[in-house]
Amino acid sequence: MHWGFPALTEPSASPAGSLGIFEVRRVLDASGCSMLAPLQTGAARFSSYLLSRARKVLGSHLFSPCGVPEFCSISTRKLAAHGFGASMAAMVPFPPQRYHYFLVLDFEATCDKPQIHPQEIIEFPILKLNGRTMEIESTFHMYVQPVVHPQLTPFCTELTGIIQAMVDGQPSLQQVLERVDEWMAKEGLLDPNVKSIFVTCGDWDLKVMLPGQCQYLGLPVADYFKQWINLKKAYSFAMGCWPKNGLLDMNKGLSLQHIGRPHSGIDDCKNIANIMKTLAYQGFIFKQTSKPF
């Protein structure tokens, strides 16, 4: 189920004798207005007992105008608070995604006010997210020694939490990219039969930062870095609003607690993964958003 575009929906069939599934879908009401509504699907339908409980929990939220991004998170939170979380998770499988793995990436780079040029990557984290379970299976995480501006500015340390000792003596970007390739091979991600794609919070990481620094240093950019999913765009398709403040807005819109420190690359990756898992639970199918190079 893709919530990017409103559409009249039909209940999906379930095997005979199976327990029906309780879902929230975008539908058209009698006047043609788009609405979000919980529906019963499956031949056997949702058990009357659980449905009755769900109705009592959701109350006035059973039908809510489209365009209210808080609706899904409110409903999910209300159900979870009344013990529906585990049972719902057990009964509602993830929709089939287009990729075997999602590679969540979030760079941190040298910075200052006014901005320094060129910026250089100083933190290079990747989380390997299983496309079937949306769980983290493996982590790549390295700090990178900047060479043009080797001394971190106070502004950079305050923003990212990265201190000078964390980058001093670390591998260069060229060496880190070689280790990324080794990790990709070890994880089976270079197998042509395995579909994977990077996921970033915005286009900056793989459209601007990495290709820009590689061009400056005369390094090639691997093809797997040339396609990605911009989580901000995916979220806006799913929820109907643009997350102006990035991860903070997406966590708020989905009623999720922010993980770790903002602008920590590895913590930002964990937040991206958590947001993706939540959207997948709601039936969202992730698609490539970047344009071909």
pLDDT, tens digit (0-9, with 9 covering 90-100), for 25-63: 443 333 233 333 334 333 333 334 444 444 454 444 433
Alpha carbon distance 167, 171 (integer Å): 8
Catalytic-labelled residue, pool 23, 61, 123, 263: 263
Alpha carbon distance 279, 129 (integer Å): 14
Alpha carbon distance 268, 271 (integer Å): 5
For the question of residue 263 being annotated catalytic, the response is yes
Side-chain-side CA neighbours of 118 within 13 Å: the count stands at: 16
pLDDT of residue 140 exceeding 70, the answer is yes
CA-wise closest residue to 149 among 119, 176, 172, 123 = 119
For the question of residue 108 being annotated catalytic, the response is yes
pLDDT of residue 127 exceeding 60, the answer is yes
pLDDT bin (cut points 50, 70, 90) of residue 292 is confident
**pLDDT value, residue 293:** 62
- Which whole number is the average pLDDT over 134-160? 97
Alpha carbon distance 212, 275 (integer Å): 28
- pLDDT higher at 173 or 7: 173
Catalytic-labelled residue, pool 108, 120, 123, 187: 108
CA-wise closest residue to 248 among 266, 230, 235 = 235
pLDDT bin (cut points 50, 70, 90) of residue 24 is very low
Q: Could you tell me the domains of the chain?
A: 101-282 (3.30.420.10)
- Which whole number is the average pLDDT over 10-36? 34
pLDDT of residue 250 exceeding 80, the answer is yes
